[in-house]
Structure 1
């Protein structure tokens, strides 16, 4: 029996298949055992006895709510503010300045957070851009966050975080400037929420709601959960949406080596990646 739980092996297989078909993600062996624990709240909310009964209900259910809740519960929505501070520092000091020169004529900057989860990363970027102030005066700056999880996107749009979440990576001065403390938690101020657009999107299927090709793409610790064919498809999707001169940000433990020929390590910024065909290009002076 898989995972050491009480569910039948066929129930685990069905649930893993549902996750992969809806999101492209696969469960590694060390995550399979967590299925039953992750789905306990779903079982309780819908009055379902166990995983076998859940699978039966998924087959017969008319609505999408149970399916959405099940998939959401199995996803890993780990994120926090300014994750890997050094990456954000390099982006603030170098990557954005490079993109400002490249895009000087059209004065437009598009940033896409793919797999944004509950929104902390996109809000981090929005705060950073707002703090740069005059650098982006007169520019159209779009920060878009997408995720396959309906629940995560709902939370991101509200912008309400617990004491633990708000303190995780967010300096006190930014916490006070951009969030209000309420009885329910720390709520992002309206000015910050207006700076980010969140939407539900499956990056393997749907095109993100971008007005222009993405100049900076965050796709961190998402592709880890894809099997190789899906991962290669995902990289192709990212390349199709990236601007000719752009940067891709992956997680600290991720790389493009042996994964894709769509992107290569950036010669400009350590830890970032660029479209492979960008290497022959140079910034266009304003």
Structure 2
């Protein structure tokens, strides 16, 4: 994987920026655009304070010495974009329920994979929706490359700011308990989701096949060859007739022939007909 040098920051060497951005890309496939190099400095400031380093260059020197086996993971966890909120793009969740109900009409328990789930707001939103409809809930598997994010998701603990982003008061009171200034998801809600660490770029898809795969705002940060690999993995994880859900600014068009826009659910994608894929290859 070729890594391109990124723009410099005041007081930070080009070498340090290149090492940090290359580490992120090697571990996750995510790239830092040149005009967003400021994110590296901003995201790593808490780690610098925690570890007692006064500059990014000192942090990179420590990383390259190779004695600290945890520092690489900590850097990647800090740099990965973990932006998330409850019920983000609410109409999408309504369509996911429809897609799952269509799968359940075939007489089996549906399965959902939330890939790149960050700190868990997306899969927990789904778990609330399905628990409230008074019907058997689908199996929900939620994965993220960041061990720290998965740990937070399993704990189900959110700040007042996080809990207010997209979560109606009624659902907040139904599914969360106050814990000081934070809110903690009720155990039955967290247990409705299987949270696992998973690398979309390096790991195989979770076992079994899924009726819906959510991979929202993950591909935005990947180079085109890496996106193609991720689409391939997702394709193997979907049942025939299954749906792929991407972020509002993402598309399969021009990226892969394995998927095409869904005829039933606007903005969703389904596996393309295998014969047409072979003919276009």
Report the TM-score when normalising by structure 2. Answer: 0.92
Please say if 1:99 is aligned against 2:103.
yes
After superposition, the CA RMSD in angstroms is 1.8
Whether contact under 8 Å (2:160, 2:181) holds in the other structure is no
Query: What's the secondary structure of 1:14's corresponding residue?
Result: helix
Please report how far the alpha carbon of residue 164 of structure 1 lies from its aligned counterpart in structure 2 after TM superposition.
1.1
Please say if 1:123 is aligned against 2:124.
yes
1:242-281 deviation line (CA, Å, top 9, x unaligned): 112201110011111101111110001101111113899x
Rounded Cα–Cα distance in structure 2 between residues aligned with 1:30 and 1:201: 28
Please say if 1:7 is aligned against 2:12.
yes
Rounded Cα–Cα distance in structure 2 between residues aligned with 1:178 and 1:279: 46
What corresponds to 2:256 in structure 1?
260
What corresponds to 2:74 in structure 1?
69
Rounded Cα–Cα distance in structure 2 between residues aligned with 1:144 and 1:269: 22
Rounded Cα–Cα distance in structure 2 between residues aligned with 1:11 and 1:223: 25
Please report how far the alpha carbon of residue 62 of structure 1 lies from its aligned counterpart in structure 2 after TM superposition.
3.0
What corresponds to 1:154 in structure 2?
151
What corresponds to 1:60 in structure 2?
65
Please report how far the alpha carbon of residue 67 of structure 1 lies from its aligned counterpart in structure 2 after TM superposition.
0.8
Please report how far the alpha carbon of residue 7 of structure 1 lies from its aligned counterpart in structure 2 after TM superposition.
1.2
Higher RCO, Cα 8 Å, sep 6+: 1
Q: Report matched runs for 1:194-233 at 5 Å.
A: 194-210=191-207, 212-233=208-229
Whether contact under 8 Å (1:147, 1:202) holds in the other structure is yes
1:165-194 deviation line (CA, Å, top 9, x unaligned): 111111111111111111141100011011
1:18-57 deviation line (CA, Å, top 9, x unaligned): 0000001111223212211211111111122311111111
1:112-150 deviation line (CA, Å, top 9, x unaligned): 10000000000001111111223x2xx7x3111110111
Rounded Cα–Cα distance in structure 2 between residues aligned with 1:271 and 1:2: 35
Please say if 1:51 is aligned against 2:47.
no
**For structure 1, which runs of at least 5 residues remain unmatched after alignment?**
281-286
**For structure 2, which runs of at least 5 residues remain unmatched after alignment?**
1-5, 277-281
Please say if 1:24 is aligned against 2:25.
no
Rounded Cα–Cα distance in structure 2 between residues aligned with 1:29 and 1:248: 30
What corresponds to 2:279 in structure 1?
none
List 4+ stretches of structure 1 deviating above 2 A: 1-5, 61-64, 207-210, 277-280
Query: What's the secondary structure of 1:2's corresponding residue?
Result: coil
Rounded Cα–Cα distance in structure 1 between residues aligned with 2:271 and 2:258: 6
Rounded Cα–Cα distance in structure 1 between residues aligned with 2:115 and 2:275: 24
How many residues align? The count is 271
Report the TM-score when normalising by structure 1. Answer: 0.90
Please report how far the alpha carbon of residue 208 of structure 1 lies from its aligned counterpart in structure 2 after TM superposition.
4.2
What corresponds to 1:284 in structure 2?
none
Query: What's the secondary structure of 1:39's corresponding residue?
Result: helix
